[in-house]
Amino acid sequence: MLYRGECRAVHDSNNGKIFPKNLNGEKEVVERMDGQFSLDGRFTLGPTEANRVAAHQIETGLYGGCSVSTTRSHDEAKRFALYADNQGVIYWIDDSEFESHGVLAIEPENPDIAKEQEVTIRAADGGEIPAALVVHVEFVERS
């Protein structure tokens, strides 16, 4: 099971759908000499899915990627859901069905923040994560 935390306002404005920042964006990206990345071996030459994930770890949607952040930790998802608001939602996402829905998941080998247990996902077309994968939407509030 994967979890995605989102503030309530975004959940409501998206009608409960999960979208990447760059809807139908790039599946593979190229690093740029723009000061956003370091020469730590995380990026490779040329456009790759791994570069999309590495860029996403630096900044959501960096270089036009179509990534969506999820986590293996329910607690981390709750933290993200309530990061900027007093109300949020946690999407429970069934990752065992990803292949049948064309969703790709990549778990970074050396994540920036290991405790987040991030798994970066994307839909086959770089768009909405299929609603059939969301098995539960949990509403949470800051206590």
pLDDT tens digits along 44-81? 777 777 776 776 676 666 666 778 999 999 999 999 99
pLDDT of residue 24: 72
pLDDT of residue 63: 62
Q: Which residue has the higher pLDDT, 108 or 62?
A: 108
The candidate with the shortest Cα–Cα distance to 81, out of 5, 24, 22, 23, is: 5
Number of domains in the chain: 1
What is the identity of the amino acid at 36? Q
CA 90 – CA 3 distance, rounded (Å): 6
CA 109 – CA 114 distance, rounded (Å): 9
Q: Which residue has the higher pLDDT, 93 or 35?
A: 93
**Spatial CB neighbours of 96, under 8 Å, sequence gap ≥ 6:** none
Q: What mean pLDDT comes out for the span 88-107?
A: 96
Domain around 113: 2-141
Give yes or no for a contact between 48 and 25, defined as CB atoms under 8 angstroms apart: no
Least confident of 1-15, 17-31, 69-83: 17-31
pLDDT of residue 41: 63
φ/ψ of 94, rounded to 5, equals -80, 100
DSSP per-residue letters across 59-112: STTGGGB--EEEES-HHHHHHHHTSSSSEEEEEEE-GGGHHHHT-EEE--SS-S
Q: State whether residue 129 is helix, strand or coil.
A: strand
CA 108 – CA 99 distance, rounded (Å): 19
